[in-house]
Structure 1
């Protein structure tokens, strides 16, 4: 399991230089979160396990004993995942960086 928040940063920071840091992640679904995605699923055969519970029919877990197994066709459908960027520099980040640089320059230029 990897992410940008790993304590060791192994797999997150790809390259560090005097004026840059290249950051990424090894999580396979990261691009869908960063940029958004549209996933098209074709119709396909599937088997579902159903049980009756309190007068309702619901999906049954493997541990449930009295189930009805039904072969069915899963309908074709599309899922749209909106972009939720987690890598990048926001206007607030730039403001914070400029503040830090300004403070360091003011300290360095003090008589």
Structure 2
């Protein structure tokens, strides 16, 4: 189930992953730690209590479902695992709607992979890491990045796919691409800063659910 070209952000009993590679601005990050010491201890008890040939995968699958659901719900609440609200995107502020939910591609790409020894929850969408950690995107192919600011510009994908655009400069020095009607379709910037909007991780409520899962599986093992 794990897509190709995926890297683990960290290695542990449970983890989150994003498709490589992470932007250089995020290189110092240690990743997203998911499981606390209480859950780790419960899992170790469960592992030691299993009979010969006993399986841990059902436990990790249950944990994967909790972590995936928690990550998906954060797109609805626009909050991180710590409960802090995401900074609203320009589109959400000016056009309405929810941040990081225009196409829901990122949310819908979330998946988990469980084995007998671990579970990983994450996505293979290439731009996931920049939203998870934040960072700076700089123009490389030309002097400017073209930032679409209208539905029509977003649908076109690139200024090359729109006709009648010309460059203007505002009184504040901002370069823009406007159409024949004078409507600004793209902002031209040398770089943009993307704020961190973490969706992978674990909330206090998630931790309680993970601990409960480990304890229930442990109790079920001892009742056999």
Interval containing the TM-score (normalised by the shorter chain): 0.5 to 0.7
Q: Which has the higher strand share?
A: 1
Whole-angstrom CA distance in 2 between matches of 1:43 and 1:108:
60
Indicate if the aligned counterparts of 1:38 and 1:78 stay in contact, CA closer than 8 A: yes
5 Å-filtered alignment, 1:27-106, equals 27-41=125-139, 42-43=143-144, 47=166, 48-51=178-181, 58-59=182-183, 76-106=189-219
Which residue in 2 is equivalent to 1:21?
119
Indicate if the aligned counterparts of 1:38 and 1:80 stay in contact, CA closer than 8 A: yes
> Measured at CA, do residues 19 and 90 of structure 1 come closer, stay the same or move farther in structure 2, by a change above 3 Å?
farther
Indicate if the aligned counterparts of 1:50 and 1:60 stay in contact, CA closer than 8 A: no
Q: Which has the higher helix share?
A: 2
Q: Which has the higher contact order (CA 8 A, sep 6+)?
A: 2
Deviations 1:1-56 (A, max 9, x none): 964635xx7xx44x531121233322221111111111234458x723142xxxxx
The alpha carbon displacement at 1:89 in A equals 3.0
Deviations 1:48-104 (A, max 9, x none): 3142xxxxxx4178xxxxxxxxxxxx7644422111122233333222111122233
Whole-angstrom CA distance in 2 between matches of 1:35 and 1:104:
34
Structure whose CA Rg is larger: 1
Task: Tell me the TM-score normalized by structure 2.
Answer: 0.30
Which residue in 2 is equivalent to 1:67?
none
5+ residue gaps, structure 1: 52-57, 62-73
Runs of 4+ residues over 6 Å off in structure 1: none
Task: Tell me the TM-score normalized by structure 1.
Answer: 0.52
Which residue in 2 is equivalent to 1:65?
none
5+ residue gaps, structure 2: 1-102, 146-164, 167-177
